[in-house]
């Protein structure tokens, strides 16, 4: 039997990189899958790639009202939700002196406020048991220059996984964090850095990885399958680091 057979799973930010690969692996493991994204063309490309059974929903992860609408849409299509992978994220990195309030607010809206209110909106739909996976980052554990706001938002998710797991335990909802290390995804081009700064940062990041390379979306997606499946039913309120040893070695 497939590991996610008969489960309904939502992946936010599922049109590329880790999110798209996770949706692919969820489908391969028997789940009925929905993905979100802001770009309608990217959503349709994902549907063509993963199959017509994929439910695609246009949604901005940083807008609270759109999280409520997302939950309303799912209720219309599905009887329940077994897995939520809150993968959508803002990866902006800047020097402290270059931050402004609007950019800070946008990052926190996507990385922290959005997932919080999405879980709230989905409460009536979450099954018993259900698995909620928050997308963290190894950046929450290290002092990588220019990652201050990003790392702070991911550190907040570590706390959220613990507190919400305790609060939702009676409802059978497990909340865990899947924290990627440096991973080869299109998100690397969205850091808001000049080309030479990005190249220098990538070289610096590779030097941080004890295993000697960056991770792949496939490796993160396989970890997400574990957290989504009943194999992880004794894993509650914790963090799974998939980072090549960055945070621990």
Q: What percent of the chain has pLDDT over 90?
A: 87
Structural domain boundaries of the chain? 8-241
Answer for the pair 136, 239: CB distance below 8 angstroms, yes or no: yes
Cα atoms in the Cβ-side hemisphere of radius 13 Å centred on 23: 29
Q: Could you tell me the two tokens for 136?
A: 């963290």
At residue 202, the pLDDT reads 76
- Tracing tokens 């989905």 back to the chain, one arrives at 122
**Topology at the third CATH level for domain 8-241:** Rossmann fold (3.40.50)
Note the pTM of the prediction, 2 decimals.
Answer: 0.94
pLDDT one-digit tens code per residue, 200-231: 777 777 888 999 888 999 999 999 999 999 99
Active site residues: 150
Q: Is the pLDDT of residue 62 over 90?
A: yes
- Write the pLDDT tens digit of every residue in 9-61: 999 999 999 999 999 999 999 999 999 999 999 999 999 999 999 999 999 99
Q: What is the pLDDT of residue 139?
A: 95
Here the tokens at position 132 are 């909620």
Alpha helices (H) along the chain:
17-28, 40-50, 64-77, 101-108, 114-122, 148-168, 195-208, 217-228
Q: In 189-209, which positions are buried (b, 16+ CB within 10 angstroms) versus exposed (e)?
A: eebebeeeebeebbeebeebb
163-171 contact pairs (CB < 8 A, 24+): 164/119, 164/132, 164/237, 165/236, 165/237, 166/237, 169/236, 171/123, 171/126, 171/128, 171/130
Place of tokens 């797991």: 165
% of the chain surpassing 70 pLDDT: 97
Task: Using the predicted structure, report yes or no on whether residue 145 has a pLDDT greater than 80.
Answer: yes
In this structure, are residues 159 and 200 in contact, taking their beta carbons and an 8 Å threshold? no
């Amino acid at each position: 039997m497939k590991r996610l057979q008969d489960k309904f799973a939502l992946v936010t930010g599922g049109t590329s990189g880790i999110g798209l690969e996770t949706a692919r692996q969820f489908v391969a493991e028997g789940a009925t899958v929905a993905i979100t994204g802001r770009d309608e063309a990217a959503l349709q490309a994902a549907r063509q790639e993963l199959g017509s059974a994929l439910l695609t929903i246009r949604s901005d992860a940083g807008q609270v009202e759109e999280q409520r609408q997302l939950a309303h849409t799912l209720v219309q299509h599905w009887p329940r939700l077994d897995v939520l992978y809150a993968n959508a994220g803002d990866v902006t990195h800047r020097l402290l002196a270059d931050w402004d309030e609007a950019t800070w607010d946008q990052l926190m809206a996507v990385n922290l406020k959005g997932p919080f209110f999405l879980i709230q909106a989905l409460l009536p739909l979450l099954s018993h048991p259900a698995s909620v996976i928050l997308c963290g980052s190894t950046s929450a554990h290290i002092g990588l220059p220019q990652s201050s706001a990003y790392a702070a938002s991911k550190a907040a998710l570590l706390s959220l996984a613990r507190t919400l797991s305790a609060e939702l335990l009676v409802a059978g909802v497990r909340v865990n964090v899947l924290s990627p290390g440096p991973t080869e995804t299109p998100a690397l081009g969205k850091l808001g850095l000049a080309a030479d700064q990005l190249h220098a940062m990538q070289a610096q990041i590779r030097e941080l990885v004890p295993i000697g390379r960056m991770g792949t979306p496939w490796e993160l997606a396989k970890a997400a399958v574990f957290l989504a499946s009943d194999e992880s039913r004794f894993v509650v309120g914790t963090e799974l680091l998939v980072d090549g040893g960055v945070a621990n070695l």
